[in-house]
Amino acid sequence: MILLYRLLSCMIPSSPIPSSSGGCWFKPFLLAIVSLFFLTTSSCILSRQPKSKIIARINDSLITTDDLIEELQRFHLERMRPGQESLAAAARLDLRSFVDELIDRKLFIQEARRMGLDRDRGFLAALADEQERICLELLRQDKIVKPSGPLSQQDVDNYFRAAGHSPRRLSDLSRAELQKIRRKKEEELSRAYIQELKKRAKIDIFTSRIADLMSLKDSNLPVARVNGEDIRGRELFAEIGSGAGEAAAAGRGGEEKAQDLAALQVEQGLCRLIEHGLLRQEAYRLGYADRKEVKKHMQRYEEDILFSRFYQKLITPKVQVKSEEIERYFRENASSLRTKLMVCLDEITTLDPNSAWEIYRELRQGADFAFLASQQEAKLLASAAQAGADAGRSCGGRWIAVQDMQPELQSLVLDLKEGEISAPVRLGDQYFIFRVREKRGGEQIPLEQVRSQIEQKIAAAHARLVAKELARRLRAVSKVAVDERSLKQLTF
């Protein structure tokens, strides 16, 4: 009776919109959503033609100018270093070689389909999961995020009053505090939205089938039904994990306590599955899966999985790395296989080159670095205050990784010993004098600590060679044509 009461009570929303894995259903899309957002909002590095032109034909597949633009954008997102604001670096690629890579990719995907990899059960399940994930995120955006709107002072007041604290001003809150208030607001909207879905839904729970938790492990019998869609025993068992069943069977912590724990976990797990089912049904009912951007993303996702599975099946098994290759790589690249070199730097900053050299001469004659640094900093602050500008960086013992420095500074710092002072160096419109207070790191890393990374790097190089040879053989039996003229007409 207690279990029945709990299961029925779960039909009243008590948690934000969940996922079948137990976490919040509105987790970010990671690269998938970032890619969709980027492709639809970023400006292109290429001048779009009035009509997309065909760049290449690969049997029955095409590569158009729009495809090429998207691939260059993906290259920027996935491979270029963080911090680059434009696609200029991608534009400097050898475009013809880049197109050849796309052609090889198309050939591999076509071969994967010919081999039937697109009919594999795991492949189809991965597609279904990805489509569901996207549809749920779009549903969350439309029903939770957009209606919540920007935070207001009233939202802040409600949050602190509910927590038993005095309200604070919106403008005084930190970013972390604002995020916490927003999450709370969205959780409340989630509960309300799920409650509305439950009011309209027909939900049946078959409590007699979940009395013996361990019997659910391989059961295909439904334990609940949501608008005619079954939730099976094995799904519930997978949702709550085997720990609850084992604890109940072993009577850990006392038989009665273990049974209560198992019942609670069943209740919570079943509630999550019911709510997840309602949300999934609503997302598909609203037609998110039929949206153009979703279909486009799913087509790209399908090709990505096929390419990956083909690579793993036909290319990866042919790659072998010998111990002598690893050892040779280690010897040849020993200088780069070191711990991160950190330096603690003091600095003096000035806007005038004459002042910089005068300070440098005083330092060479034994003047105190810290005194001159603080003196110069005070001058900069006063000058900046009069001009209404920023004084720039201040002095004082900052630990910096040498590899993160500007290239012109790296060699300078590496040449300085601890306690040594650099000659003035110009960076932007300022002049700097550096003193190396201390150095740490830079030691040789033992081979055994980097063996796996070296092996992966060598394996990746071997895999590229295997893939190149396989692509050559596929091209020999395929119809591949590149419109060189259209390719050359593309402008940056």
Predicted confidence (pLDDT) per residue in 294-337, tens digit: 999 999 999 999 999 999 999 999 999 999 999 999 999 988 88
Is the pLDDT score of 29 beyond 70?
A: no
Residue 78's pLDDT band, with cuts at 50, 70 and 90, is: low
Residue 42's pLDDT band, with cuts at 50, 70 and 90, is: very low
Higher pLDDT, 455 or 430: 455
What percent of the chain shows pLDDT beyond 90?
Answer: 52
Q: In this structure, which amino acid lies at residue 278?
A: L
Each residue's pLDDT tens digit, 368-400:
888 888 888 777 766 655 544 443 344 456 788
- Coil, strand or helix at 439: strand
Reference 16, options 188, 218, 150; nearest CA is 188
Burial of 435 (0-12, 13-18, 19+ CB in 10 A): buried
Residue 487: per-residue pLDDT: 85
Residue 35: per-residue pLDDT: 45
Are residues 213 and 258 in contact, defined by beta-carbon separation less than 8 angstroms? no
Provide the token pair at 189.
């909207």
The full set of domains in the chain, from first to last, is 338-440 (3.10.50.40)
Instruction: Look up the pTM and report it.
Output: 0.68
Distance between CA atoms of 439 and 435, rounded to whole angstroms?
11
Higher pLDDT, 69 or 288: 288
Which parts of 248-351 are beta strand (E)?
A: 342-350
Distance between CA atoms of 58 and 60, rounded to whole angstroms?
6
Partners of residue 18 on adjacent β-strands? 24
Partners of residue 386 on adjacent β-strands? none
- Coil, strand or helix at 409: helix
